[in-house]
Amino acid sequence: MRNKCKVLSVLIVLLHITGLCAQDAWFMEGPPVLISMDLQGASLKDVLKIFSIQSGLNFIASEAVQDRKITLYLDSVPLTDAMNKIFKANNLSYELDEEARIFIVKDWGAPKMETITKIYTLKYRAVPNANFSKEKVNLLGGSAADLVTTIRQVMSDGGKINEDASTNSLIITDIPSVFGDIEEVIARLDVPQTQVLLEVEIIDVSKDVVDSLGLKFGTNPVTLNFPGSFMTRGAENFFTGVTGSTDSPEPVSRGTQGALTLGHTYVAMLDFLRTQTDTKYLARPRILTLNNETAEISITKDEIVERKENVQVVNDSPITTYEYKRATELKLTENGVGIVLRVTPQVNLEANEILMVINPEASTTSLSTVAADYKDPEVKTTKSVVKAKDGETIVLGGLIHTDTQVIKTKVPILGDLPLIGALFRHKDQTKDMVRELLVFITPRVVKDSTIGAPVLARRPTLPVEREQSVRSSTTDRQAVINTSLNKLDRMQ
């Protein structure tokens, strides 16, 4: 009995399926219809019109696809095969109206693409999600170099890219045709970065000394010469060591506002500044940075610029407390009060040149004119874009500030006594001195073979006396400078 029920159920299912197939294949009854076409750039509505003529069936194209261009060649192809191949190749589908016996052709939608996945391990670049890239963002305050953004521009709309920070790898899923462009982008960008050694000297000197050197920053003509130095026929120029026939000193090339470029003059001028008793060396760092990466030098202190006095009465007794706030807390300065220098080099190896974006910032505080418990911060900053040869020195100036010197003297022991100690102390406040910050920057392209080599060995060739003075002691250097100055006096 059970076997008879099973057989009956199978027969019912087969009859149902057969009925469905008959409904869908009514147009295939009778002799097979063969389609032949040879069209190039024809619109879909014209193709369907030929279909109707050759097959005797009715086709309607939706407005969205009726003007789609189709190129095809068919030679005695069965109707069903022709319809399936043409519609699939052009991302089309159709609906059959059973009662009206009309085929409605419309867009299939987003085509299903075959994708593959490849993993690329970067050798010289860090993926954006790596801890190194995040640390660099925190250090420099800028965005990390995003290789992923560049790769996305050559990927298809449906492509996906993920980063694996643990292996410094990129996982890319996309259609096979775009991987050639992706691999070319990675090959061109994932390369060793050129390193740049920045030798920086920050000096605080009297503005009178700067003026005596002939340094004019800004749009004025820029020259560099010691007081009274000039070049006569057959005489040796103090800076260049070249015998010439001109009567004026060789001008120094001028860069953008506030910056000028020096050749061999740098060593002679720096030695002259060292002889000034009031010259202050603020910093002499040497920083190694990558090409197109920002190096930052910060010499600051988080100075207290505000003091609030709070008086509370407790048990009929006033209690005074003070609240102090610092410059960074009040967001008056980002890095505190002092000197901040940011340099971003860009190396052109073919021209042996280095383009630098230089941003020095000098900030000071002074007693406020509004309240005695406040200090007013004063921030002076410039931004220059300069170009220098490898090993050439750039000088930045124009950061002028006023320095008030207070000299206190006292008699030992007696000067520390309360009340009467004032009789044994003396305070001498000199007049305000105008001083200027000079920043010397010497960029050098570091090659693998030169890493660790002494920098002095790669300096430009100098005259013998001055080259020796660079490597000699302070006493020997001073003797050489005095000899050179005596030569100038005799020429006058």
- What average pLDDT does this structure show over 220-234? 32
- What average pLDDT does this structure show over 451-457? 42
How many angstroms separate the Cα of 361 from the Cα of each of 339, 341, 346, 369?
A: 6, 6, 21, 24
The correct answer on CATH 3.50.50.60 for the domain covering 34-107 is no
Q: Is the pLDDT of residue 468 over 80?
A: no
The residue among 477 and 325 whose pLDDT is bigger is 325
**Ranges in the chain annotated CATH 3.55.50.30:** 34-107
Q: Is the pLDDT of residue 120 over 90?
A: yes
Instruction: Check: pTM over 0.75? Answer yes or no.
Output: no
- What average pLDDT does this structure show over 217-223? 36
- Quickly count: other Cβ atoms within 10 Å of residue 207's Cβ: 16
Q: Which tens digit of pLDDT belongs to each residue from 229-261?
A: 333 333 333 333 343 333 333 344 333 334 444
Q: Is the pLDDT of residue 108 over 80?
A: no
Q: Which tens digit of pLDDT belongs to each residue from 142-181?
A: 333 467 888 988 998 889 998 888 888 899 999 888 999 9
Q: Is the pLDDT of residue 474 over 80?
A: no
Out of 105-119, 204-218, 222-236, 372-386, least confident range? 222-236
**Ranges in the chain annotated CATH 3.30.1370.120:** 116-191
Q: What is the chain's mean pLDDT, rounded?
A: 68
Q: Which of 156-160, 262-266, 332-336 holds the top average pLDDT? A: 156-160
Contact by Cβ (8 Å): 131, 165: yes
Minimal CA–CA distance to 261: which of 81, 397, 75, 367? 397
Predicted pLDDT of residue 30: 58
- What average pLDDT does this structure show over 108-112? 64
Predicted pLDDT of residue 29: 59
The residue among 107 and 230 whose pLDDT is bigger is 107
The residue among 357 and 11 whose pLDDT is bigger is 357
Predicted pLDDT of residue 144: 38
Q: Is the pLDDT of residue 297 over 50?
A: yes
The share of the chain scoring above pLDDT 70, in percent, equals: 54
Q: Which of 192-196, 254-258, 400-404 holds the top average pLDDT? A: 192-196
Residue 316, sorted as left (phi over 0), alpha (psi -120 to 50) or beta, turns out to be: left
Classify domain 116-191 by CATH number: 3.30.1370.120
